[in-house]
Structure 1
Amino acid sequence: MGDTNEKQIPLLPLRGVIVYPSMVMHLDVGRDQSVKALEKSMVEDNKLLLATQRDAAKDTPGEDDIFSTGTIAYIKQMVKLPNGTVRILVEGLERAKVSSVEQTEPYFMVNYDILDDEHGEDTEEQALMRMLDSQFQEFTKVSKKLNKETYNSIKDIEEPSRLADIVASHLSLKTQQKQNILETVYVPDRLDYLIQLIHNEKEVLGMEKKIGQRVKKSMERTQKEYYLREQLKAIQKELGDRDGKNSEVAQLKEKIEEAGMPERIEKTAYKELDRYERVPQSSAESSVIRNYIEWLVAIPWTKETEDNLDIHHAEEILDEDHYGLEKVKERVLEYLSVQQLTQSLKGPILCLVGPPGVGKTSLAKSVARAIDRKFVRSSLGGVRDEAEIRGHRRTYVGAMPGRIIQGMNKAGTVNPVFLLDEIDKMASDFRGDPSSAMLEVLDPEQNNSFSDHFIEESYDLSKVMFIATANNLQTIPGPLLDRMEVISIAGYTEVEKLHISKEHLIPKQIKENGLTKGKMQFKDEAILKLIRMYTREAGVRNLERQFASLCRKSAKMIVSNEKKRVVITEAQIEKLLGKPKFRYGQAEVENQIGAATGLAYTQAGGDTLSIEVSLSKGTGKLTLTGKLGDVMKESAQAALSYVRSRTEELNIDEDFYEKLDIHIHVPEGATPKDGPSAGITMATALVSALTNRPVKKEVGMTGEITLRGRVLPIGGLKEKSLSAHRAGLTTILIPEENDKDLEDIPESVREGLTFIKVNHLDQVLDHALLKE
């Protein structure tokens, strides 16, 4: 360090600016303190010390707020500006360091020491100068702020210290970095520091350039996409498709948002929507994806109707719509009661089994009305393709969901009453077994995640109340039947049919045919005659047709002014509908030898069978006719074997089977008949023929026979009892073990029949045959 004699000089604090020696620049001075320092300098020798503030934001800096190292500068020019500030032109002379502060008010006056440059080896300085020159030249090429002229202005400088200061003045550095250069008096260190700073700045500029190029590419891509979309819109507009897919996608998106899907389904829907947006509209896949999304949106996922759990309300509606059918009504009321207590219950799966026309389908509608649920019906009659139930895979042309999902779509809620009509009439072939597909639908443990091939996502059916209907349980596969709660609906009695006619059928037909109660009236005896002699069925469908026919004929009479009011009596029925179609009942008019009345269970309910036995001379040949099944033929063989083993007790010639041919015939030979329950009837008819003892005409019977004469239980006792009652029989012989089924038989039928329980054929013969 050179001169150590302290000298006083005014100090001018600078904000964010550093002036190096040999540097000429303009400064605007506005602070009072700084202007006073300037005035003092102008009075003296036009020199002052320029030092930079540590914090540029401070308006009145203190002693500690200013760097101690600065530059002695000479004021070459001073101009007062209109706004009150003073603009000066200064030239940096040499480095100086504040040694002490004499005063701070009204301006800074400080003592200072001059800082002389310290030089190193000449060769080192020359090498550093060349490197700095090279680095700065490269920097001016990549920098946007500097240019070739800037480099040209410094390339001829030969003094290392001056070169460093001039280069530093051209760089955009932080205040602290510029101050470090000012404070470094050892010239090689100053050159080295500058080389490092320029190198770092080049790296930063290179990175900025890369980022800029990336942003530019991204912008170009965005602009390109925008341009292409605009072109696409223009093309679609020309073709007449004004909004193209955009409006469709927006609509579908809105529907997905409103559908209330579970999160996983919504995720799938958005994924498919994204695909739909990318696929060209002319592509075949476009319509497939759109169809799929529309199905996903249409199916109810969370929408639920609130059940009306009022037991009395439900009971009123069920009674209003249907007469009888106590078991079904009771089951529905039980379901409502449990739901009221638990507030959560899986939908029951009921199977209503019974002959046609007994009101199975209409009962399901009433159940839905009783509990305020949506009703949806799907007929399964003739369905033989598994895809009808489970849906088609989306890879097939014209693929669509199965009947279950379609039904849920129609219902619009997740908890409808879903009627599966004619579940016993599903078939199976090479396309699959639909009844096996129904196993998942009708299993309360599995149907909370039903899988449809089209939808592909699992669907919850656990809240649905399934009601299936069937005419015949025998054709329903075992595993499917096991999943349902079977409720049998037998045929109606005469009394029930009379009630149903008066309360439901007749008012309905009178209304449908444009009549009123005042213009048409039915007498009770006329209704009974219709039931007995013009229809023979378990249900009331055919009976309703007869009422419709009478109403139409009455309407014709009223319109043609033949009559003003029609009253249907017994005589009127025969006049309007012709002779009776059926003989009332099936009971024999008189006691018969070799003919016994059996009771049969058919798809149309119950029926009576007259089994006849004829004997003729021969060699013991047994002939069976009447279109009998294998089981029925075996029953005939068992009956014959039993009779042969009891010839002595029955007082029959023990060699009868060698001398006589036996012919057993069951009338109505066109109708197939099978089952073991005709066993005791065949045995009774055979014994009657062999012993010449007549069978009582008022007795009907049913039961399976064993070789030892035991009577085994049978099924369908209720239906058989109804047919016996309808046929005019008064006594029925039933197996002892069927005693438990008597409570199912309507009271009106039980009152009109005498039930005799038997466990052996000897008892049957005692009750059925007249005494010798």
Structure 2
Amino acid sequence: MKEENKNIPAVALRGMTILPGMVAHFDVSRSRSIHAVEAAMMKDQTVFLVTQKNVEKEDPELEDLYSIGIIAVIKQVIKLQNNVVRVLVEGETRARLSEMEWGEYLIAEVEPLQREEEMLPAEIQAAMIRGIQETFTRYCLMNPKHGKELARQMVEISDLEKLLDYIGNNLSVGFEEKQKILEAGTVQERYETLMIILLNEINIIQIKTEFQTKVKEKVDKNQKEYILREQMKLIREELGEDNTVSEADHYLEECEKLEADEEVKEKLEKEIERFKNVSLNSSESAVIRGYIETILELPWNKASKDNKNLEDAERILDEDHYGMEKVKERMLEFLAVRNLTKKGDSPIICLVGPPGTGKTSIAKSVARALDKKYVRISLGGVRDEAEIRGHRKTYVGAMPGRIANGLKNAGVRNPLMLLDEIDKISSDYKGDTASALLEVLDSEQNSKFRDHYVELPLDLSEVLFIATANSLQTIPRPLLDRMEIIEVSSYTENEKAHIAREHLIAKQMEKNGLQEGQLSISNHALEKLIRGYTREAGVRNLERKIGEICRKAAREIYQKNKKMVKITEISLEKLLGKEKYNFDLINETDEIGIVRGLAWTSVGGDTLQIEVNIMPGKGEFQLTGQLGDVMKESAKAGISYIRSVSEKYQIDKEFFQEWDIHIHIPEGAVPKDGPSAGITMATAMLSAITKRKVRKDVAMTGEITLRGRVLPIGGLKEKILAAKNAGIKTICVPKKNEPDVSEIAQEIKKGLEIVFVESMEQVLDVALAEEMDRGEEHDY
């Protein structure tokens, strides 16, 4: 049955909602509210309580109030100080606000809302009771303000409506949530609203608890660290080891002293600030500390003074190394330019030559001559780009690259940096090392070289780079283009003897504990040692053999109390055994089909005999002696040339269909290849076919074309040395190699007749022993 509307005094509540059955008190201070309470007390003590939407509103309008409020009975009124009245009320009936009259106090026209009777099945009511009880129990356990007493009293209530009223009245939530409960008309609506509010509150409490736990742990940890640090400080003070300046302050002092640009100092100060704010025990602290120390150790604007005395530098270079005129000359030129221009671009020099020729050791001498700091970076087998450019700081164990490390070790920005074995670098999935070196070895780019770890531009323009390599074949072309190539060729026997006398013997005597005058090696013994016991382009094995002699001499002096050991040709064989090497000397007589060729190997020059036989057959062409593709093609080009001039040399037309030709180069176990045996094979074949003898004292080198032209080759110095050692008197060399021959020392060419040839006809004129009878017919 619907009740009629009532006009009763009303109070607008701020930040509070009263529910049915709820006993609560509130304070009123606004005059309208006080007059409304007084008017209610004069009548039946009934008042309408409605909540304001906006708490800050002093005189609310109708739209500022919620539409649903509660009719309550005033139980007690207490006047407090400052014209404040405390009112105790009990909520009775929900009511809808229809109209509001503003006068001395608020009079509300309300429509009481009776609870609708719902016939819910017993099972649903039981499920609702159990669900709301379990949820509210969880809420009470998680919220210490409510305690276990509320949960225990709730379990005793078996009526669903009373249970919902009890829980609603005891919830510690805001007035907005309470208003939602008040506005829920049916039992099911109130149940759903309460469940949503309870579950939401449980989630909020859980999140709050987690945050509190984390914050507490952090605070406890920081507090513990602080206490421990204070204890350590006290212990250090007691021991007299108190470090009054912290690490960060120490770094800041070092930063101020650092000779560097503002960009570097700004970056360093930022890192020091980060270091201050990081816990000392964290892994990040160690990373930042390592970075700061690296930046502080790098020589940003710190440079050493170069030696400006050319005579002094020349003397040092001559003292340390015999020969190597080109290298010495280039270094003195560099010094002269530096003295004139006060700066001058540092050259990037690449010394190329066989092992043991002193490429690495001369870099040390150059550093000593120019008075530069010396740094050696070995590139053999390096295949990770990060080795050159450094690792990024984000990686565990990151460190600067080898170039930055080299500068750090040198301590100055203008050292001499030796890039050893630059031809041995390789690349894989981690990056191309050669490409990483392009920036380092480019004088236009290396003034702003960026190391991934340092992250600041490093100036490498004042670094004097010297690279070494055994071969240019494996160096990528772009990298090769950035370097100035200086070839370090093989030593002559005379040069080896000088090096041994001036450097190696004294070095090995000192190394093996021998005093001056305790060992003497005769000139003949040294010559035999160089020729018979070593075969190399450099002097590394020679030094080992001298060391062996020194060790045996040391034993003689120690065991037999000898004052001096003399090494002669005869005693050399006793000490080192039989000679291991001998040169292929020239043949005793002129022979048919045998020609002496000249070859270049990694240990210097060598001579090789090319033999040709012809046999009755089907015109087959056979090559043996483990020849490479280039030499096979040279042989085919040679036979094609011979067939094209067969009439000139009176060779029968049917010869190449009826006879087999076999070319053989002895020492078949050794692979042989290269473009320098073309004219040698062609001469040997023509000699065998025409039955003309080849001069025993002639050797030759050069490539042949199909038309008989002679093409230039390389390695001439080593080849001429080998020919001289073999007793050759005349050498055929391509005409286009004449400039190379002019650069070879007169000492090497002495006693040799070097004939420059442009065609096979000229070669044959020199090589064949006698003039062929033009009218003679060969009987094959």
* Cα distance between partner residues in 1 of 2:516 and 2:263: 60
- Residue 354 of structure 1 aligns with which residue? 353
Deviations 1:562-603 (A, max 9, x none): 743211111111111111001134544443332222222222
The one-letter code matched in structure 2 to 1:269 is: L
> Please, what is the CA RMSD of the aligned residues?
2.1
- Residue 617 of structure 1 aligns with which residue? 616
* Cα distance between partner residues in 2 of 1:251 and 1:547: 55
Q: Residues 764, 357 of structure 1: CA spacing in aligned structure 2 closer, same or farther, 3 A cutoff?
A: same
1:301-700 → structure 2 map (5 Å cutoff): 301-561=300-560, 563-700=562-699
The one-letter code matched in structure 1 to 2:447 is: N
Deviates more, 1:356-365 or 1:628-637: 628-637
The one-letter code matched in structure 1 to 2:273 is: D
Larger Rg: 1
Q: TM-score, normalised by structure 2?
A: 0.68
Once the 2 structures are TM-superposed, how far is the Cα of residue 651 of structure 1 from its aligned partner? 2.9
1:33-112 → structure 2 map (5 Å cutoff): none
- 8 Å CA contact 1:718–1:744 kept in 2: the answer is no
Q: Residues 386, 295 of structure 1: CA spacing in aligned structure 2 closer, same or farther, 3 A cutoff?
A: same
Q: Residues 587, 435 of structure 1: CA spacing in aligned structure 2 closer, same or farther, 3 A cutoff?
A: farther
The one-letter code matched in structure 2 to 1:744 is: E
Does 2:715 correspond to 1:722? no
The one-letter code matched in structure 2 to 1:566 is: V
The one-letter code matched in structure 2 to 1:534 is: Y
* Cα distance between partner residues in 1 of 2:756 and 2:330: 30
The one-letter code matched in structure 1 to 2:268 is: A
Once the 2 structures are TM-superposed, how far is the Cα of residue 229 of structure 1 from its aligned partner? 9.6
The one-letter code matched in structure 2 to 1:622 is: F
Once the 2 structures are TM-superposed, how far is the Cα of residue 716 of structure 1 from its aligned partner? 2.0
Once the 2 structures are TM-superposed, how far is the Cα of residue 307 of structure 1 from its aligned partner? 0.6
Deviations 1:516-559 (A, max 9, x none): 23211011111111111111111111111111111111111111
What SS is found at the alignment partner of 1:608?
strand
The one-letter code matched in structure 2 to 1:264 is: E
Q: Residues 668, 249 of structure 1: CA spacing in aligned structure 2 closer, same or farther, 3 A cutoff?
A: farther
- 8 Å CA contact 1:354–1:605 kept in 2: the answer is no
Query: Equivalent of 1:235, from 208, 216, 228?
Result: 228
* Cα distance between partner residues in 1 of 2:267 and 2:595: 70
- Residue 106 of structure 2 aligns with which residue? none
* Cα distance between partner residues in 2 of 1:501 and 1:730: 28
Q: Residues 244, 232 of structure 1: CA spacing in aligned structure 2 closer, same or farther, 3 A cutoff?
A: farther
Q: Residues 592, 409 of structure 1: CA spacing in aligned structure 2 closer, same or farther, 3 A cutoff?
A: farther
- Residue 743 of structure 1 aligns with which residue? 742
| Count of residues paired in the alignment | 546
* Cα distance between partner residues in 2 of 1:245 and 1:358: 57
* Cα distance between partner residues in 2 of 1:753 and 1:492: 18
What SS is found at the alignment partner of 1:475?
coil
The one-letter code matched in structure 2 to 1:431 is: K
* Cα distance between partner residues in 1 of 2:343 and 2:720: 41
Deviations 1:73-112 (A, max 9, x none): xxxxxxxxxxxxxxxxxxxxxxxxxxxxxxxxxxxxxxxx
Q: Residues 231, 428 of structure 1: CA spacing in aligned structure 2 closer, same or farther, 3 A cutoff?
A: closer
- Residue 276 of structure 1 aligns with which residue? 275
The one-letter code matched in structure 2 to 1:470 is: A
* Cα distance between partner residues in 2 of 1:585 and 1:307: 50
Q: Residues 770, 743 of structure 1: CA spacing in aligned structure 2 closer, same or farther, 3 A cutoff?
A: same
* Cα distance between partner residues in 2 of 1:333 and 1:394: 42
- 8 Å CA contact 1:611–1:664 kept in 2: the answer is yes
Q: TM-score, normalised by structure 1?
A: 0.68
Deviations 1:473-503 (A, max 9, x none): 1111111111000000100111111111111
What SS is found at the alignment partner of 2:427?
coil
What SS is found at the alignment partner of 2:713?
coil
Percent identity over the alignment is 56
- 8 Å CA contact 1:492–1:722 kept in 2: the answer is no
What SS is found at the alignment partner of 1:648?
coil
* Cα distance between partner residues in 1 of 2:702 and 2:363: 34
Once the 2 structures are TM-superposed, how far is the Cα of residue 727 of structure 1 from its aligned partner? 3.0
Q: Residues 563, 244 of structure 1: CA spacing in aligned structure 2 closer, same or farther, 3 A cutoff?
A: closer
- Residue 184 of structure 1 aligns with which residue? none
Once the 2 structures are TM-superposed, how far is the Cα of residue 722 of structure 1 from its aligned partner? 2.3
The one-letter code matched in structure 1 to 2:474 is: T
- Residue 255 of structure 2 aligns with which residue? 256
Deviations 1:419-452 (A, max 9, x none): 0001011111111110111111111111101111
* Cα distance between partner residues in 2 of 1:443 and 1:524: 48
Q: Residues 489, 759 of structure 1: CA spacing in aligned structure 2 closer, same or farther, 3 A cutoff?
A: same
The one-letter code matched in structure 2 to 1:270 is: E
Deviates more, 1:681-690 or 1:608-617: 608-617
The one-letter code matched in structure 2 to 1:379 is: S
Once the 2 structures are TM-superposed, how far is the Cα of residue 513 of structure 1 from its aligned partner? 1.2
The one-letter code matched in structure 1 to 2:591 is: Q
Once the 2 structures are TM-superposed, how far is the Cα of residue 230 of structure 1 from its aligned partner? 9.7
What SS is found at the alignment partner of 1:677?
coil
Q: Residues 740, 236 of structure 1: CA spacing in aligned structure 2 closer, same or farther, 3 A cutoff?
A: same
* Cα distance between partner residues in 1 of 2:668 and 2:448: 50
The one-letter code matched in structure 2 to 1:489 is: V
Q: Residues 396, 539 of structure 1: CA spacing in aligned structure 2 closer, same or farther, 3 A cutoff?
A: same
* Cα distance between partner residues in 1 of 2:393 and 2:587: 64
* Cα distance between partner residues in 2 of 1:324 and 1:655: 57
Q: Residues 597, 237 of structure 1: CA spacing in aligned structure 2 closer, same or farther, 3 A cutoff?
A: farther
Q: Residues 228, 686 of structure 1: CA spacing in aligned structure 2 closer, same or farther, 3 A cutoff?
A: closer
- Residue 95 of structure 2 aligns with which residue? none
- 8 Å CA contact 1:233–1:244 kept in 2: the answer is no
**Gaps spanning 5+ residues in structure 2: where?**
1-219, 237-241, 773-780
* Cα distance between partner residues in 1 of 2:364 and 2:292: 31
Once the 2 structures are TM-superposed, how far is the Cα of residue 699 of structure 1 from its aligned partner? 1.6
* Cα distance between partner residues in 2 of 1:230 and 1:249: 21
Q: Residues 632, 273 of structure 1: CA spacing in aligned structure 2 closer, same or farther, 3 A cutoff?
A: same
- Residue 214 of structure 1 aligns with which residue? none
* Cα distance between partner residues in 1 of 2:243 and 2:672: 67
What SS is found at the alignment partner of 2:733?
strand
- Residue 40 of structure 2 aligns with which residue? none
* Cα distance between partner residues in 1 of 2:539 and 2:745: 17
* Cα distance between partner residues in 1 of 2:545 and 2:688: 42
Once the 2 structures are TM-superposed, how far is the Cα of residue 694 of structure 1 from its aligned partner? 2.6
* Cα distance between partner residues in 2 of 1:641 and 1:668: 26
* Cα distance between partner residues in 1 of 2:765 and 2:345: 53
- Residue 709 of structure 2 aligns with which residue? 710
**Gaps spanning 5+ residues in structure 1: where?**
1-226
Once the 2 structures are TM-superposed, how far is the Cα of residue 244 of structure 1 from its aligned partner? 9.5
* Cα distance between partner residues in 2 of 1:245 and 1:392: 35
Once the 2 structures are TM-superposed, how far is the Cα of residue 608 of structure 1 from its aligned partner? 2.1
- 8 Å CA contact 2:535–2:603 kept in 1: the answer is no
Once the 2 structures are TM-superposed, how far is the Cα of residue 231 of structure 1 from its aligned partner? 7.9
- 8 Å CA contact 1:421–1:468 kept in 2: the answer is yes
- 8 Å CA contact 1:245–1:281 kept in 2: the answer is no
- 8 Å CA contact 1:420–1:466 kept in 2: the answer is yes
Once the 2 structures are TM-superposed, how far is the Cα of residue 684 of structure 1 from its aligned partner? 1.1
The one-letter code matched in structure 2 to 1:612 is: E
